[in-house]
Amino acid sequence: MKSIQSRMFLSVAIACATVVMTQPLSAQNKRPLHKKSTQPITVQWLGHAAFEVTSSTGTKILIDPFLSGNPSTPDSLKQLGRYHPQAILVTHSHADHALDAVTIATASGAPVIGAVEHIASFKLPAKQSMGGNVGGRFTIGDVIVHLVPAMHSSDPGGRPLGFVLEFSDGRTLYHTGDTWVFGDMSLIQEFYHPNIILLGVGGGPYTEGPKEALRAIQKYFTPDHIIPMHYGTFPGLSDEAEVKAVFGAERHTVVMRPGQVRVF
């Protein structure tokens, strides 16, 4: 009995080996690869364009810290002493993005990343001044921060930016900053293929509104998750109902509430 089982096993093994060996090499190469395992990325919306993003190993990146004077930030998150990021990213100089950057940097010792002229205006110690420009990158722990264009203004202080965070599992998160839709978004997609997009949708006098932002997604990007931001903070900006009306049919949309935490 045992020898019969052995012979059967041997026959099956030879048959399988034959199938593998007789397949053309090109066919073998077309087999689906095992999907690369993903490591959790934690995103907390702090209100308006402010987010704290934490990598799977605990690298904390604080983006656009407008907190102490932000009407949409929950009171518990306005206490600046609670923030201990490994880096602070500031897309541009306007107060609704940069207000608390220097206070948090001074208290925590964290470096600030942004446009070189803007960062210089903070007059922080050299080791905390990470000024760059479009196309530049910085490595913070296990996260690479890429500086990408945004179509807006930033006065005083250089030019407006967006940021793409690249994580160790290969996934990427794109914070658009304040912007209008622009053609180079196609190159942001080509180079960084963002999996998560923190998308400015507020509209009003200053930036793209929900319809234009949705068109930017449809035209240029293929994200797994879209998190609308920069709305509902001040009169004149789009509110949540308007954002949901436009993005309701976009199945990748994640509408968050200020203070909420999501893990991707």
Residues that bind Zn ion (CB under 5 A): 96, 178
Q: Is 100 or 178 the residue whose CB approaches Zn ion more closely?
A: 178
Query: CB 176 → Zn ion: shortest distance, Å?
Result: 11
Round to whole Å and give the CA distance between 112 and 124.
9
Give the shortest CB-230-to-Zn ion separation in angstroms. 6
The helix/strand count (H/E) of the chain reads as 8, 13
CB 132 within 8 A of CB 147: yes
Report the nearest approach of Zn ion to the CB of residue 48 (Å). 7
43 strand-pairing partners: 53, 262
Strands (E), 17-151: 42-47, 50-54, 60-63, 87-89, 112-115, 129-132, 137-140, 143-149
Cβ proximity to Zn ion, 203 vs 223, nearer residue: 203
Q: How far is the CB of 178 from Zn ion (least distance, A)?
A: 4
Shorter beta-carbon distance to Zn ion: residue 96 or 100: 96
Residue with Cβ nearer Zn ion (65 or 128): 65
Whole-number Cα distances in Å, 46 to 25, 52, 95, 244: 52, 7, 15, 19
Nearer to Zn ion, 178 or 242 (CB): 178
Q: For the CB of residue 232, give the shortest distance to Zn ion in the complex, in Å.
A: 13
Burial class (CB in 10 A: 0-12, 13-18, 19+), 67: buried
